[in-house]
Amino acid sequence: MSGLTAEQIAQYESDGYTLVENVLEASTLQRLREVTDEIVASAKGLTEHTDALDLEASHTPESPRVRRIKRPHTVHPFYWDLARHHGIVRALIPLIGEHIRLRPAGKVNIKAPGYGAAIEWHQDWAFYPHTNQDVLAVGVLLDDMGPDNGPVLMLPGTHKGPVYDHHSQGAFCGAIDVHKAGIDVSNARQVHAPAGSITIHHARLVHGSAMNHSTRKRRVLFYEYTAADAWPLAGVDVIRDLDEFNARMVHGQPTLTPRMEDVPVRMPLPTAVFQGSIYENQRTLESRYFDTAQATVAAPQKHILKES
């Protein structure tokens, strides 16, 4: 049985994203929060980013502020198990087929109350182009996501448009200058949903999110998945170890035959000046969208599938 309704599949096709509410059981959600809290607590005493933890600019060893857990499936076995959760995998099959691989990256983006950082507009595809575009990201909500706590903003339909320039000062910066690119972000939709829900967005979709100005946490665990025959062209994915590549299959079988599609690709090279996370990469973007005083998405449309 499909894990998505016909309406959700149609929305993913036309808008480039969809939402599935209440996918996680209460006990799974609770365990996800516990594991995440444990890992965040380990940031006490750190003076710099680690392979697993990306820190807010305002972090101090005494007052730890974690912005991201990187490659969570390698940090705690719970995250690896969750990447294969039946509710998630069932939702992916109608979109990218039976044979599904987890990307080696993934993250928990932690927008803490009051200061949790913005993520500038970007397309994931700019970071990790593949031989075909059956590539997407799933956001697992640890907290309720609403208008005030930095919800993910999706620009519907942009997954069918160009791959935008994500470069600044001659190097990749992992962000789009939306003014220069002439992108009208007033059409962006905020995704609002209860904790335990999942968002699914296409790798070519333009998206981002503002700082969390509320008193509520906004934590989202992002897993990225590809069809097994979508082979990476660049980025951290480049295959060095076939066994490791194939060990990330979450459903179906691997293949040695990449499927080639005529897809637009812009290589993320030269590599970003600041490495370690998207937040670091985006530091060299000259004209930031979310840092400016008028940096709000005009007239956001709340995303409620039931209304459409």
Ligand X SMILES: O=C(O)CCC(=O)C(=O)O
Of 119 and 140, nearer to ligand X (C-beta) is 119
- Minimum Å gap between C-beta 116 and ligand X is 9
Can residue 203 be called a binding residue for ligand X (CB under 6 A)? no
- The interface mask with ligand X, positions 90-129, x = CB under 6 A, is -----------------x-x---------x----x-----
The residue with tokens 């979310």 is 290
Q: How far apart are CA 121 and CA 12, in angstroms?
A: 19
Q: How far apart are CA 278 and CA 127, in angstroms?
A: 9
In the chain, the amino acid numbered 80 is W
Identify residues 205-244 at the interface with ligand X (CB under 6 A).
207, 209, 220, 222
Residue nearest to ligand X (CB): 209
CA atoms within 13 A on the CB side of 205: 29
- Minimum Å gap between C-beta 150 and ligand X is 6
Of 73 and 99, nearer to ligand X (C-beta) is 73
- The interface mask with ligand X, positions 38-77, x = CB under 6 A, is ----------------------------------------
- Cα-based distances in Å from 98 to 131, 229, 250, 251: 18, 11, 10, 6
The answer to whether residues 248 and 102 touch, using CB atoms and an 8 Å cutoff, is yes
CB-count exposure of residue 154 (10 Å: 0-12, 13-18, 19+)? buried
The residue with tokens 């296409």 is 202
CB-count exposure of residue 231 (10 Å: 0-12, 13-18, 19+)? buried
Can residue 199 be called a binding residue for ligand X (CB under 6 A)? no
User: How do the residues of the chain divide into helix, strand and coil, expressed in percent and rounded to 5?
Assistant: 25, 20, 50
User: How many residues bind ligand X, per CB under 6 A?
Assistant: 10
Of 99 and 192, nearer to ligand X (C-beta) is 192
Of 100 and 206, nearer to ligand X (C-beta) is 206
Locate 182 and state its tokens.
């002439």
- Minimum Å gap between C-beta 159 and ligand X is 13
- Minimum Å gap between C-beta 262 and ligand X is 25
Per DSSP, 185 falls in state G
- Minimum Å gap between C-beta 151 and ligand X is 7
Cα-only R_g, the chain: 18
- The interface mask with ligand X, positions 150-179, x = CB under 6 A, is --x---------------------------
Residues at the site binding ligand X, with contacts judged by CB under 6 A: 107, 109, 119, 124, 152, 207, 209, 220, 222, 278
